[in-house]
Structure 1
């Protein structure tokens, strides 16, 4: 006869009673540790070193690919990237000579060939969002002035010259804009970290005068539709004050448009030889109604010419 203990009726069951959820917790912890290690390794791999980031930037410059330059993380405008696509030539034989890292800042001393000459430069890098990226020293600062207009173009990209241009290092042809009306260009070797000043000497294209004539005609035709004394900006001046106390109605007719002549520097114009007829109705100086017709057989106007972006605008004094 077998007698079982009252306090442990199943002695073998205790040794084999490890709960399944305990193994599940251990497995989950192991998986989390593996994931953490992978994430840390990926972050470290993505950050790379300042030396690797400098080399990546130089390779992007050599490629001539604006997207590759953008992917380095450097901060620059869309216009600068578009201009880089139209560069005449790009960096070649680029190499990193040395790198000095200090905390979250680094300086890479680099050499390269551009514009047929060898150059050295210091490229500063900073840690940003876990990676090394070049700062503004990786770009060229070019200040452009023009003898006419407020813009220049590199290829199809129009750039405002009111402030210095931050360009990707390369060789560019900087041309007067708008190209439809102005001609003139200058060759620019844009070096990283360098500041350069250039001037584009502009001249008017032959077709610019015809385009200015069209704009003046449209402006004066709009003025002629007025039924009151014209406001400033129409070039219409009538000596009505000696005969009228007030003018209630005005009718204008342009028989001949004034012919435009542009100043050599393209900043102003004169237009002469026009014929204008103006009929005014109102109150005479001595009282009562009055209607008088004025004729100008040599109507002339003057004004300013401005070029901005791709447009030419005439303003009559």
Structure 2
């Protein structure tokens, strides 16, 4: 009896070990194509960029990769109720997947390919990305070189690669311009959108800060009248030679931006200039001149998140 019991115990232990080995094999087996496809669709639905990034076979070039990541993490909405429709046959280590999801209230097709990388399946190439082209301008005037898509600064008039999602597109620079659009994109068809921008209520104040700093640099004491500062000091009428000129600003010019975003006028400035030098008889002299119509004028240029004023 004792021997039989011992044998039975040993046999039971052997069975337990075998079962444990089978369980370990099951848990460590590579994910299937369907598993990875479902994980990708779930990450799209959850807005989980880190998960998607880890599933890619290859990253995009640096600038494009930043746009894809920042736009998606700042998206206005994500694919809802995604489901796999078809999984193609494997050809050369590559499988095509077609899915559907609701994006911005419409049923959209999402297509992507998975490729073998070692024992894993990864998103292949750039097939999983959607294509969007944005055109942006200020009231038929200045064309904007960039917009905000989610949290990304992206170029206009060129195809931008994005993950399927809903995106809030805003004119840039975002602190001086307003206007935008919301669009749902997927890779079933290229998308395009127009953004009509206008100056924000804060734009003139921000431009005024730039012009004030420029005007103050123009009115530092100098050995000659500075160029491109809107200053005309007729010292030649009284002096044969100018040695030094000093300015006192009583009123800085007030900025007005053109509605088309192409130019600006800063007018109504008041400045007093005192010129020091030699008279025609060779003796030292100083003369003071006052201008009640000091003005600065020029062009406006947009570069990414900057509005640049160019004084002429």
Contact 2:132 2:162 in 1 (8 A): yes
The residue aligned with 1:80 is 68
> Which residue, out of 134, 146, 161, partners 1:144?
134
CA 1:50–1:237 in 2, change beyond 3 Å: closer, same or farther?
farther
CA 1:66–1:122 in 2, change beyond 3 Å: closer, same or farther?
closer
> Which residue, out of 153, 159, 163, partners 1:159?
153
Shift of 1:79: 4.2
- Deviations, residues 241-272 of structure 1 (Å, cap 9, x unaligned): 77767643221222211111111123321011
Please list every run of 5 or more consecutive structure 1 residues that lacks an aligned counterpart in the other structure.
1-37
1-side partners of 2:71 and 2:245: how far apart?
Answer: 52
Shift of 1:129: 5.5
Query: Which range moves more in the overlay, 267-276 or 140-149?
Result: 140-149
1:68 aligns with 2:62: no
Map 1:1-317 → 2, pairs under 5 A: 45-46=29-30, 48-73=31-56, 75=59, 77-92=65-80, 93-128=82-117, 130-134=119-123, 135-148=125-138, 149-155=144-150, 157-161=151-155, 164-192=159-187, 194-229=189-224, 231-238=226-233, 247-282=242-277, 291-317=286-312
1-side partners of 2:100 and 2:224: how far apart?
Answer: 68
Shift of 1:286: 9.3
The residue aligned with 1:20 is none
Q: When the two structures are superposed, what TM-score results if normalisation uses the length of structure 2?
A: 0.74
Contact 1:51 1:96 in 2 (8 A): no
Shift of 1:182: 1.6
Aligned pair count reads 275
Structure whose alpha-carbon radius of gyration is higher: 1
CA 1:62–1:248 in 2, change beyond 3 Å: closer, same or farther?
same
CA 1:242–1:103 in 2, change beyond 3 Å: closer, same or farther?
farther
CA 1:251–1:160 in 2, change beyond 3 Å: closer, same or farther?
farther
Shift of 1:70: 1.8
CA 1:232–1:141 in 2, change beyond 3 Å: closer, same or farther?
farther
Query: Which range moves more in the overlay, 259-268 or 283-292?
Result: 283-292
Q: When the two structures are superposed, what TM-score results if normalisation uses the length of structure 1?
A: 0.73
What do you get for the CA RMSD once the two structures are aligned?
Answer: 3.2
